[in-house]
Amino acid sequence: MVDLAKIRKKKAEGRKQKAEVPPPPEQPSNLATEPPRDPEKLERFMAEAGKKREGFVQAAAETAGTAEIEVLTFALAGEQYAVNIEHIVEIVRPRGATRVPNAGANVVGIISLRGLIVTVVDVRAKLHHPPGGGGNDARIIVVEHGGETLGFQVDRVLRVVKLDAAAVEAHPVVHSSEQTESIRGVFQHAGALTILLDLDKLLA
C-alpha cells in the first residue's frame, strides 16, 4: 500500500531544500563596465590639477624672466651697441685689409690673423653711419659666423655686460626699416641706451 502522506512529506522537504540553496553567482558579462564615478572626487581632482598647472606655468615664467645673457658693448659713430659674446673669437687692433675683387659692397676686405683669413665687414655702412673711425681706440671684433671667420671694426670696445634677458625691449624706435632688421632690441645700462644687434642679420 502506497503511503501518500509520506510521499507528500518528502516532496515538501525537497522543495524546502531547493529554496535554501543560494542561487549561483551571476556570470560577468563579456563587456567590462566602469565602476560608478564619485562626482565629488572628480571635482577635487580637477581643482588640484588646475592648481598644479598654474604653478607650473608661473614657475616657467619666473625662470624665463631670470635668464641672463652676456653681451660685449662698444661705441660706433657716437652710438652705444652690444652683441652677444657667444660667437666672439677675439678682439684685435685694426690692420690694413686687402680688397677682394667682385666682393659685396659691405665687404671691406680680408686680413690675416696668425695665418687665419678674416673677412672684414663694413657694419658702419650697414647701420647707415657715415664713414669714419680708425682712431687709437678702434678695434676689430672677430667672430665665428656661419662657418666663416668674420670681423667688423668699431670705434671703441667698452665692456662685457651681464643682463637680464627681460631687460631688453623687443621693439626699439628707429628711423630706418633697414636698421630694424639688424636690431634685436634696446636696454638701459649705466645711464645710457644701448642697442643690441643681431649678429646673424648684421653680418649677412
Is the pLDDT at 116 greater than 60? The verdict is yes
Residue 12 is predicted with a pLDDT of 57
- Does 111 or 30 have the greater pLDDT score? 111
Q: In 3-87, at which residue ranges do the beta strands (DSSP E only) sit?
A: 68-76, 79-84
Q: How far is CA 101 from CA 105, 108, 126, in A?
A: 11, 11, 20
Q: Are 181 and 174 in contact (CB under 8 A)?
A: no
What per-residue confidence (pLDDT) applies to 119? 96
For residues 152 and 121, is the Cβ–Cβ distance under 8 A? yes
Asked if residues 95 and 111 have their Cβ atoms less than 8 Å apart, the reply is: yes
DSSP assignment string, 66-127: T-EEEEEEEEETTEEEEEEGGGEEEEE---PPBP-TT--TTEEEEEEETTEEEEEE-HHHHT
Mean pLDDT along residues 162-191: 76
In whole angstroms, give the CA distance from residue 168 to residue 189. 11
Task: Tally the C-alpha atoms within 13 A of residue 65's C-alpha that lie toward its C-beta.
Answer: 6
Q: For the chain, how far is it from start to end, CA to CA, in angstroms?
A: 124
Q: Residue 189 — very low, low, confident or very high, per pLDDT cuts 50/70/90?
A: confident
pLDDT of residue 76: 95
User: What is the dotted CATH code of the domain comprising 68-202?
Assistant: 2.40.50.180
Which region among 1-10, 132-141, 191-200 has the lowest average model confidence (pLDDT)?
1-10
